[in-house]
Structure 1
Amino acid sequence: MPVGAVSRHTLQIHSYFMIIITVLFIVVLGITIYSMFEHRKSAGQRPAKFAGPTGTVQWLWAMVPFAILLFIDYILIGIHFSS
Protein backbone atom coordinates (compact mmCIF):
# COMPACT_ATOMS: atom_id res chain seq x y z
CA MET A 1 0.00 0.00 0.00
CA PRO A 2 1.37 3.45 -0.89
CA VAL A 3 2.46 5.64 1.98
CA GLY A 4 2.63 9.13 0.46
CA ALA A 5 -0.22 11.24 -0.86
CA VAL A 6 1.23 11.41 -4.37
CA SER A 7 1.68 7.65 -4.58
CA ARG A 8 -1.88 7.06 -3.32
CA HIS A 9 -3.21 9.46 -5.95
CA THR A 10 -1.13 7.72 -8.64
CA LEU A 11 -2.49 4.34 -7.59
CA GLN A 12 -6.06 5.67 -7.69
CA ILE A 13 -5.57 7.02 -11.23
CA HIS A 14 -3.98 3.74 -12.29
CA SER A 15 -6.87 1.74 -10.85
CA TYR A 16 -9.44 4.04 -12.45
CA PHE A 17 -7.87 3.67 -15.88
CA MET A 18 -7.48 -0.08 -15.50
CA ILE A 19 -11.25 -0.29 -14.98
CA ILE A 20 -11.90 1.85 -18.08
CA ILE A 21 -9.45 -0.14 -20.21
CA THR A 22 -10.84 -3.46 -18.97
CA VAL A 23 -14.41 -2.43 -19.82
CA LEU A 24 -13.32 -1.24 -23.28
CA PHE A 25 -11.42 -4.50 -23.84
CA ILE A 26 -14.42 -6.62 -22.87
CA VAL A 27 -16.77 -4.61 -25.12
CA VAL A 28 -14.43 -4.83 -28.13
CA LEU A 29 -13.78 -8.53 -27.52
CA GLY A 30 -17.53 -9.18 -27.31
CA ILE A 31 -18.17 -7.30 -30.56
CA THR A 32 -15.35 -9.21 -32.24
CA ILE A 33 -16.61 -12.62 -31.12
CA TYR A 34 -20.19 -11.72 -32.08
CA SER A 35 -19.01 -10.54 -35.51
CA MET A 36 -16.98 -13.71 -36.07
CA PHE A 37 -19.98 -15.93 -35.41
CA GLU A 38 -22.57 -13.72 -37.09
CA HIS A 39 -20.62 -13.13 -40.32
CA ARG A 40 -18.83 -16.43 -40.80
CA LYS A 41 -19.09 -18.03 -44.20
CA SER A 42 -21.46 -20.97 -44.13
CA ALA A 43 -20.85 -24.03 -46.30
CA GLY A 44 -22.07 -23.55 -49.85
CA GLN A 45 -22.73 -19.83 -49.49
CA ARG A 46 -21.18 -17.26 -51.78
CA PRO A 47 -19.86 -14.05 -50.24
CA ALA A 48 -21.78 -10.87 -50.97
CA LYS A 49 -20.32 -8.54 -53.57
CA PHE A 50 -20.29 -5.01 -52.31
CA ALA A 51 -17.84 -2.19 -52.14
CA GLY A 52 -15.84 -1.67 -48.99
CA PRO A 53 -16.03 1.48 -46.93
CA THR A 54 -14.88 4.73 -48.45
CA GLY A 55 -11.66 6.43 -47.45
CA THR A 56 -13.50 8.91 -45.24
CA VAL A 57 -15.15 6.16 -43.22
CA GLN A 58 -11.83 4.39 -42.76
CA TRP A 59 -10.24 7.59 -41.48
CA LEU A 60 -13.11 8.19 -39.09
CA TRP A 61 -12.78 4.70 -37.61
CA ALA A 62 -9.03 5.24 -37.25
CA MET A 63 -9.60 8.54 -35.42
CA VAL A 64 -12.18 7.22 -32.92
CA PRO A 65 -9.56 5.61 -30.58
CA PHE A 66 -7.42 8.74 -30.87
CA ALA A 67 -10.40 10.90 -29.90
CA ILE A 68 -11.10 8.64 -26.91
CA LEU A 69 -7.51 9.04 -25.72
CA LEU A 70 -7.68 12.81 -26.11
CA PHE A 71 -10.94 12.86 -24.15
CA ILE A 72 -9.36 10.82 -21.36
CA ASP A 73 -6.20 12.96 -21.24
CA TYR A 74 -7.67 16.44 -21.49
CA ILE A 75 -11.19 16.20 -20.12
CA LEU A 76 -11.10 13.46 -17.47
CA ILE A 77 -7.59 13.98 -16.10
CA GLY A 78 -6.76 17.48 -17.28
CA ILE A 79 -3.24 16.63 -18.45
CA HIS A 80 -1.86 19.41 -20.61
CA PHE A 81 1.55 19.90 -22.15
CA SER A 82 3.58 22.40 -20.15
CA SER A 83 6.03 24.70 -21.89
Structure 2
Amino acid sequence: GRRQAGEPLASFTPALPPGWRVIWRGFRGEPWLRWSEAGDAPASNGTLTLCPPGAHDAALRQLVIAKSGRVRLVQPARVGNASLQAARALCGWT
Protein backbone atom coordinates (compact mmCIF):
# COMPACT_ATOMS: atom_id res chain seq x y z
CA GLY A 1 0.00 0.00 0.00
CA ARG A 2 2.94 2.40 0.23
CA ARG A 3 4.65 4.06 -2.71
CA GLN A 4 8.07 2.64 -3.40
CA ALA A 5 11.14 4.74 -4.14
CA GLY A 6 11.18 5.66 -7.81
CA GLU A 7 7.52 4.75 -8.35
CA PRO A 8 5.93 7.41 -10.60
CA LEU A 9 3.08 9.59 -9.39
CA ALA A 10 0.02 10.24 -11.58
CA SER A 11 -1.15 13.81 -11.92
CA PHE A 12 -4.09 15.42 -13.70
CA THR A 13 -2.47 18.82 -14.01
CA PRO A 14 -3.17 20.63 -16.23
CA ALA A 15 -6.87 19.96 -16.65
CA LEU A 16 -8.12 17.58 -19.31
CA PRO A 17 -8.37 19.08 -22.79
CA PRO A 18 -11.79 20.29 -23.96
CA GLY A 19 -14.14 17.48 -24.95
CA TRP A 20 -12.48 14.81 -22.78
CA ARG A 21 -14.53 13.11 -20.05
CA VAL A 22 -13.64 11.07 -16.97
CA ILE A 23 -16.01 8.30 -15.89
CA TRP A 24 -15.64 6.53 -12.53
CA ARG A 25 -16.99 3.02 -12.01
CA GLY A 26 -16.28 1.66 -8.54
CA PHE A 27 -16.77 -1.77 -7.06
CA ARG A 28 -19.32 -0.52 -4.53
CA GLY A 29 -21.08 1.85 -6.93
CA GLU A 30 -20.09 4.95 -4.94
CA PRO A 31 -19.66 8.19 -6.93
CA TRP A 32 -16.29 8.95 -5.32
CA LEU A 33 -12.78 7.62 -4.93
CA ARG A 34 -11.10 7.59 -1.53
CA TRP A 35 -7.60 6.77 -0.30
CA SER A 36 -6.79 6.24 3.37
CA GLU A 37 -3.89 7.87 5.18
CA ALA A 38 -2.01 4.58 4.74
CA GLY A 39 -2.26 4.93 0.95
CA ASP A 40 -4.77 2.15 0.32
CA ALA A 41 -8.23 2.44 -1.23
CA PRO A 42 -10.12 -0.29 0.63
CA ALA A 43 -13.61 0.82 -0.38
CA SER A 44 -12.80 2.55 -3.65
CA ASN A 45 -11.39 -0.05 -6.01
CA GLY A 46 -12.61 0.50 -9.56
CA THR A 47 -11.76 2.12 -12.88
CA LEU A 48 -11.43 5.70 -14.10
CA THR A 49 -12.06 5.76 -17.85
CA LEU A 50 -10.64 8.72 -19.78
CA CYS A 51 -12.81 9.30 -22.84
CA PRO A 52 -11.36 11.44 -25.62
CA PRO A 53 -13.70 13.43 -27.85
CA GLY A 54 -14.97 11.26 -30.68
CA ALA A 55 -14.50 7.53 -31.02
CA HIS A 56 -10.70 7.47 -30.98
CA ASP A 57 -9.68 4.02 -29.68
CA ALA A 58 -5.93 4.71 -29.64
CA ALA A 59 -6.40 7.62 -27.20
CA LEU A 60 -8.75 5.75 -24.84
CA ARG A 61 -7.19 5.14 -21.40
CA GLN A 62 -8.27 3.57 -18.13
CA LEU A 63 -6.77 3.90 -14.67
CA VAL A 64 -7.51 0.76 -12.67
CA ILE A 65 -7.46 1.42 -8.91
CA ALA A 66 -6.75 -1.58 -6.67
CA LYS A 67 -7.84 -1.88 -3.04
CA SER A 68 -4.16 -1.66 -2.13
CA GLY A 69 -4.12 1.87 -3.60
CA ARG A 70 -2.04 0.95 -6.64
CA VAL A 71 -2.98 2.55 -9.94
CA ARG A 72 -2.44 0.72 -13.23
CA LEU A 73 -2.71 2.37 -16.65
CA VAL A 74 -4.61 0.31 -19.24
CA GLN A 75 -4.94 1.02 -22.95
CA PRO A 76 -8.07 -0.96 -23.91
CA ALA A 77 -7.15 -0.96 -27.62
CA ARG A 78 -4.03 -2.98 -26.74
CA VAL A 79 -5.59 -5.34 -24.18
CA GLY A 80 -8.25 -7.09 -26.19
CA ASN A 81 -11.59 -6.77 -27.87
CA ALA A 82 -13.76 -7.33 -24.76
CA SER A 83 -11.93 -4.63 -22.80
CA LEU A 84 -12.11 -2.24 -25.74
CA GLN A 85 -15.83 -2.83 -26.28
CA ALA A 86 -16.58 -2.27 -22.57
CA ALA A 87 -14.58 0.97 -22.52
CA ARG A 88 -16.22 2.16 -25.74
CA ALA A 89 -19.64 1.52 -24.20
CA LEU A 90 -18.72 3.55 -21.10
CA CYS A 91 -17.71 6.45 -23.33
CA GLY A 92 -20.99 6.17 -25.22
CA TRP A 93 -19.41 5.14 -28.52
CA THR A 94 -21.50 2.05 -29.22
Global fold match (TM > 0.5):
no
Structure 1 or 2: more strand by fraction: 2
Q: TM-score w.r.t. structure 1 length?
A: 0.21
Structure with the larger RCO, 1 or 2 (CA within 8 Å, 6+ apart): 2
Structure 1 or 2: more helix by fraction: 1
Q: TM-score w.r.t. structure 2 length?
A: 0.19
Which is higher, the Rg of structure 1 or of structure 2? 1
